[in-house]
Amino acid sequence: MTVRNQGGTGEPPRRRGQGELETQVLAVLCGAPGPVTAAYVQERLGDDLAYTTVVTILTRLHTKGAVSRERAGRSFQWTAVADEAGLAALRMRRVLDAESDREAVLASFVTALTPGDERLLRDLLAQTADQDES
């Protein structure tokens, strides 16, 4: 007997990459007209995800500071605080915060940048410094 996935191909379902589901949930929240429920997110993902899985992802995003929530009856309504770039920045910050030698981590990161990314980072740092001075 062959177990088929939802598409009926006989292939095992594709496994998501790390953070992919968080990114998809965040995209739904960013495109929402306002605060929405977990059921709204689950419906928009249309991927036969369990409601509890969606709530778990929303809770993780809330812990990371990427979404906010407000009590709505017995559940919550969720709103994006960060977009995909913001979520990636939160992940980078979490990795940096977990290391004891921040200088070594940052030095290693900077030396691995392409010349274009290094130039962009320098420009962004200069803009931040200009904003701090004003």
**What is the rounded (10 degree) CA torsion for 76, 80, 84, 85?**
-130
Share of the chain above pLDDT 90, in %: 59
Report the alpha-carbon distance of residue 55 to residue 70 in Å, rounded.
Answer: 14
pLDDT digit string (tens) for 51-109? 999 999 999 999 988 899 999 999 999 999 988 888 788 888 888 899 999 999 999 99
Report the alpha-carbon distance of residue 17 to residue 27 in Å, rounded.
Answer: 16
Given a contact cutoff of 8 angstroms between Cβ atoms, the answer to whether 41 and 58 are in contact is yes
The pLDDT of residue 101: 94
DSSP one-letter code for 19 = T
Instruction: List the one residue out of 63, 2, 3, 56 whose CA is nearest residue 25.
Output: 56
